[in-house]
Structure 1
Amino acid sequence: MKPSALPRYNRVLLKLGGEGLAGKAAFGIDPDVVNDIAVDIIAVKSKYNTQFAIVVGGGNIIRGDAASKRGMDRVTADYMGMLGTVINALALQDALENQGQPTRVQTAISMHQIAEPYIRRRAVRHLEKGRVVILAAGSGNPYFSTDTTAALRAVEIEAEVVLKATKVDGVYDADPVTNPKAKKFARLDYLDLINKDLRVMDHTAVTLCRENKIPIIVFDLSHGGNLDGVVAGKPIGTLVGPPE
């Protein structure tokens, strides 16, 4: 399929937080929200022929770090969180395939009955064949966030950008929900996220992107047209990259 327009990015790593799949609820999966996300992905893929790899979080099912603070063994809690990401990955795969988009789920922890194991070369081949690849179960290791997994997988598959989908329209110097005077940044250096302790992604994830020169775009996926805009290179959200 020939693209109808030329994109800024041809291969992207889209990071979806689990909370974003819950919609207005605090827990679980909202099928309507998942379907809307699938529609956006398919529309952008059809328009630009963009290759999509997706890393999903599991915060709508369980947050390992939060559970560990309430007495649960951290390693056990993190593995439970990894399983939560697989639930989300299957939901997104179902939504995409119901609309005709071939999709593969690959997991960092083997579970052959429901998904392929993560194999870098196979993931890249799927992308080249036009399939969406959803990468689940984190990195397969406790103590590592799904943001770090997104950065790691982006490096491995040679993605051109990490698209971090959030519930706000970029990075602010304070919480815009509680502080109406919060200032939004249009562009930041990688080190700004670390030095200013702007808690958008953990330091390990930012450092991986910085060392491999992969830009990060933080944007609001729920706003119609934003995914199209960031793939096209429009100034949407906050761009995190090297100094200008």
Structure 2
Amino acid sequence: MVAELKYRRILLKLSGEALGAQGNSIDAETVRRIASEVKRVHNLGVEIAMVVGGGNMWRGAYAAATGIDRATADYVGMLATVMNSLVLQDAMEKLGMVTRVQTAIEMPPVAEPFIRRRAERHLEKGRVVILAAGSGNPFFTTDTAAALRAVELNAQVLLKATKVDGIYDDDPVHNPYAHKFEELSYMRALNMGLKVMDSTALSLCKDNKMPIIVFNMQQEGALEAIMRGAKCGTLVSEVDKELA
């Protein structure tokens, strides 16, 4: 079945809000549904690395605006991503997947430290690798951490799961006339200031020719459809076909 797939190794980026709204922390049923979607792809033989945010519990930038030291606020946010990662690990292992959590900040009783070659070996053995604590550095988002890990682990694509079905020129929730982009270049996304990913993450993907697909994780089967080559969401790459 693997021969039918477009992608064989992916980096899936989940926002913390995908697991539960801020203030509600984690919704167990939502976590189980996400784990089920990942399992559908894992069963196809796809090698899966994941990065999850912590915005459902803590946002460093917002906390810093209240007067907390920014570096301190960001470290707290990294710990939030570890909590989310452990919850995801539990849900996926209950569905029969073998997983490993690796953290950018060492905490041996909880998870392995991130070691690139060890992570690659886990992927080769069919284990889902959940990469926590961002990049381990303050002032960098988990989007940037996802871009960095995707490049380090030689993923074929970075998949950013959101609550909308792609990238729009305006908020489609509030503007019914917002235009959806089917394909978009890195430079156009950067120049337009589209809030798909921060500029550091986009630039890192651009410099390393790492394609990005922004899609709706809430749409059942969307992740599997992308693996099989279906056009879901918005592809960000070197070529902007809308301008070609």
Normalising by structure 2, we get a TM-score of 0.96
User: Could you say which residue in structure 2 is the equivalent of 1:180?
Assistant: 176
Secondary structure in structure 2 of the residue aligned to 1:55: strand
| Shift in CA distance, 34/42, structure 1 to aligned 2, threshold 3 Å | same
Measure the CA separation in 2 of the matches of 1:214 and 1:234: 18
The 3-state SS of whatever aligns with 2:13 is: strand
Quick one: percent identity of the two aligned structures? 57
Spell out, residue by residue over 1:22-77, the C-alpha distance to the aligned partner (whole angstroms, 9 max, x if none): 0x66530001111111111111111x200000000000010000110111110010
Provide the residue aligned with 1:9 in structure 2.
Answer: 7
2:197 equivalent among 186, 198, 201: 201
1:64 is matched with which residue: 37, 60, 69? 60
1:30 aligned to which of 27, 31, 42: 27
Of 80, 89, 95, 1:93 maps to 89
Deviations 1:202-235 (A, max 9, x none): 0110111111111000000011010111122211
Q: 3-state DSSP class of the match of 1:81?
A: helix
5+ unaligned residues in a row in structure 1: which ranges?
none
Mark the runs of 5 or more structure 2 residues left unpaired by the alignment.
Answer: none
**Is 1:149 aligned to 2:145, yes or no?**
yes
Quick check: 2:190–2:199 contact (8 Å CA) kept in 1?
yes
Q: Following the alignment from structure 1 to structure 2, what is the Cα–Cα distance between the partners of residues 189 and 107?
A: 31
Determine if contact 2:22/2:55 at 8 Å carries over to the other structure.
no
1:75-102 deviations in Å (ceiling 9; x for gaps)? 0100000000000000000000011100
Indicate if the aligned counterparts of 1:18 and 1:60 stay in contact, CA closer than 8 A: yes
CA contact (8 A) 2:23 2:57 kept: no
User: How many residues end up aligned between the 2 structures?
Assistant: 240
Distance in 2 separating the partners of 1:97 and 1:33 = 15
Contact 1:19/1:27, CA 8 A, preserved across alignment: no
1:19/1:26 contact within 8 Å kept: no
2-structure distance, mates of 1:14, 1:91: 16
CA RMSD across the alignment = 1.1
Asked if residue 191 in structure 1 is aligned to residue 175 in structure 2, the reply is: no
Contact 2:31 2:88 in 1 (8 A): yes
TM-score (norm: length of structure 1):
0.96
Report deviation, 1:15: 0.1
Distance in 2, Cα, partners of 1:65 & 1:174: 23
**Paired residue secondary structure (1:127):** helix
Local SS of the residue matching 1:88: helix
Any conservation in 1 of the 2:169–2:179 contact (CA below 8 Å)?
yes
Tell me how far apart the structure 1 counterparts of residues 233 and 23 of structure 2 sit (CA, whole Å). 24
